Amino acid sequence: MAISSIQIQEAYDRFMGIIRKDSRGSALEAMYEDFQDELISAPASGKIHFHNCFPGGYLDHVLRVSDTTLRLCKVYKEMGGKLDFTMEEAVFAAIHHDFGKLGSKDGPYYVEQESQWHREKQGEMYTHNHNIGFMKVPDRALFLLQQYGIKITENEFYGIKLSDGLYDDSNKAYLINYTHKYPIRTNLPAIIHTADYLATQVESDAVR
């Protein structure tokens, strides 16, 4: 699966429209000027059997997660759940949960795999850029936001930090807790993680 240059442009325009509606729109727009090339061209993963491993895959993915997040909010509320966060927080966390995959000021997160063996035998079209310092994707997202002076709420922090759920062992301290009665005082991480999981599954279906 891949998307055309026209589809990428449409996705980019839609993404920037969402950014501009945020109360921090001006600061976010300025930040994304530095990441414009990566925002347009970055994949969502490095291997074709994962999800959205193609130019524009990142952009397509975060928009799908944002759309799914809003749908899940409605379902959660219909089920009797409490939406203890704003829709701005939900959308912000959704479109920034993988922001770390755009890399840093020192370079992109993904670079094209030059080894033909890895491309043919493992389906690895992209590999990690070892010229930038190691950070987990959610941690890099949070680091970049503060680096550019973007203030985030506690709900947004949890939504981004815990977007991988228990797939990331470091999240266990937050999600499996025996000391605090209410360790996380928002349901946003559950919404974001579920939206990310479902979006990833749909994208993976396209290459099966």
Question: Is the distance from CB of 125 to CB of 41 less than 8 angstroms?
Answer: no
Global confidence as pTM: 0.94
**What phi and psi, each to the nearest 5 degrees, are found at residue 107?**
155, 170
Distance between CA atoms of residues 155 and 163, nearest Å: 12
DSSP state of 79: T
35 residue type, one letter = F
Residues recorded for the chain: 208
- Please, which residues bridge with residue 126 across strands? 112
Tokens at residue 176, please?
A: 């499996």
Tokens at residue 18, please?
A: 């969402």
Query: For the segment 22-34, what is each residue's pLDDT rounded down to a tens digit?
Result: 999 999 999 999 9
Please report where in the chains the tokens 């501009």 appear, as a residue.
20
Question: Is the distance from CB of 208 to CB of 1 less than 8 angstroms?
Answer: no
Chain-wide mean pLDDT for the chain? 94
Number of structural domains (the chain) is: 1
Q: State the residue range of the domain holding 124.
A: 5-205
Query: For the segment 47-64, what is each residue's pLDDT rounded down to a tens digit?
Result: 988 999 999 999 999 999
Q: Which CATH number does the domain housing residue 173 bear?
A: 1.10.3210
DSSP state of 49: T
Q: Is pLDDT larger for residue 178 or for residue 83?
A: 83
Tokens at residue 37, please?
A: 């090339």
Query: For the segment 147-157, what is each residue's pLDDT rounded down to a tens digit?
Result: 999 999 999 99
Tokens at residue 208, please?
A: 């099966």
Question: Is the distance from CB of 174 to CB of 162 less than 8 angstroms?
Answer: yes
> Quick one: 74 exposed, middle or buried, by C-beta within 10 A (0-12, 13-18, 19+)?
exposed
Average pLDDT over residues 122-140: 93
